[in-house]
């Protein structure tokens, strides 16, 4: 996990973290959801072999967010 950057926009501040997508790191993602106002899910499109896996992980993330009432449709 590493801090990518901070952007100050008037009274608001964006703090960007790279949590990593490796399977072993995904277990910590949920610790960040409740403190987040937005989530940016980045997929490496240069690696087409992992696109299906990325789609599944994204779906699981949305399901978790929805079940925790962090994300609501």
Q: Among this protein's residues, is 22 annotated catalytic?
A: yes
> C-alpha dihedral over 17, 38, 45, 8, to 10 degrees?
-60
Which helix (H) or strand (E) covers residue 56, if one does? helix 51-67
Q: What is the pLDDT of residue 8?
A: 95
Per-residue pLDDT tens digits for 56-65 = 888 888 887 7
pTM summary value: 0.63
Q: Can you tell me the mean pLDDT for 1-14?
A: 88
Choosing from 22, 52, 53, 68, which is the catalytic residue?
Answer: 22
**pLDDT average, residue stretch 32-48:** 80
Tokens of 35: 């403190």
pLDDT given for residue 42 in this prediction? 85
pLDDT at 2: 79
* pLDDT in the model for residue 11: 94
Query: Across all residues in the chain, what is the average pLDDT?
Result: 79
């Amino acid at each position: 996990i590493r801090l990518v950057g901070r952007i100050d926009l008037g009274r608001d501040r964006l703090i960007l973290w790279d949590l990593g997508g490796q399977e072993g790191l995904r277990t910590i993602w949920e610790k960040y959801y409740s403190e987040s106002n937005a989530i940016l899910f980045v997929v490496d499109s240069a690696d087409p072999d992992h696109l299906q896996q990325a789609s599944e992980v994204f779906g699981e993330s949305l399901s978790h967010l929805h079940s925790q009432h962090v994300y609501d449709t």
